[in-house]
Homo-oligomer: A and B are copies of this chain.
Amino acid sequence: MARSKPNKKSEQIKFNAELTEAEWIVMKVIWENEPCTAGTVQEALANSKDWAYSTIKTTMDRMVNKGFLEIQKIRNLQLFSSAISEVDAKRGEFRKMLQRAFDGALTPMMQFLIEHEGLSKAESAQLRKLVNKAKNRKD
């Protein structure tokens, strides 16, 4: 009851985070290496992204402003950590898609998957297994 009322907007952000393309790429590295510096992120991405240091740093600074990352300062080093969880980010991305393309309804999306995304026999078997497991969870 007496829980200090959290900012509605920021909760919204936390639980339904919407990252941009570049932010997703950076975020994945953060989740695997946090806390880490911008330089570390650059190195981690060296193979896949030919980004200048400042590109990465700017992106990360913006993410701090948006509340996606947090900075912990040591000397003149900035160690970045995630301020949102992987689950929240995934949920945000998933729900945005669901809202836009399926008006927020899950079942039509499933229908679509099966009808148009050609679930292979293996995949649907897998799915079936998952679903059965889900059967024994909360309702």
- Give the interface of A toward B (CB within 8 A): 19, 21, 24, 87, 89-91, 93-94, 96-97, 100-102, 106-107, 109-114, 116-128, 130-135, 137-139
Name, among A113, A118, A134, the residue most crowded by chain B CB atoms within 10 Å (CB to CB): A134
Given A21-B100, A114-B130, A116-B87: A121 and B135 interface contact (C-beta under 8 Å): yes
Q: How far is the CA of A106 from the CA of B106 in the complex (A)?
A: 15
Name which residue of chain B comes closest to A23, CB basis.
B100
Query: How far is it, in angstroms, between the C-alpha of A114 and the C-alpha of B138 when the chains are bound?
Result: 11
Contacts of A87 in B (CB 8 A): 112, 116
Which chain B residue has the least Cβ–Cβ distance from A28? Answer: B103
Asked if B139 contacts A112 (CB within 8 A), the reply is: no
- A contact patch SS: helix
Name the one of B117, B125, B127, B135 contacting A94, with C-beta atoms under 8 angstroms.
B117
Given A24-B101, A89-B101, output 7 extra A-B contacts at Cβ < 8 Å: A19-B100, A24-B100, A93-B100, A94-B112, A96-B97, A114-B131, A128-B128
Q: Contact at A97–B93, with CB atoms within 8 Å?
A: yes
Known contacts A94-B117, A116-B91: does B101 contact A130 (CB below 8 Å)?
no
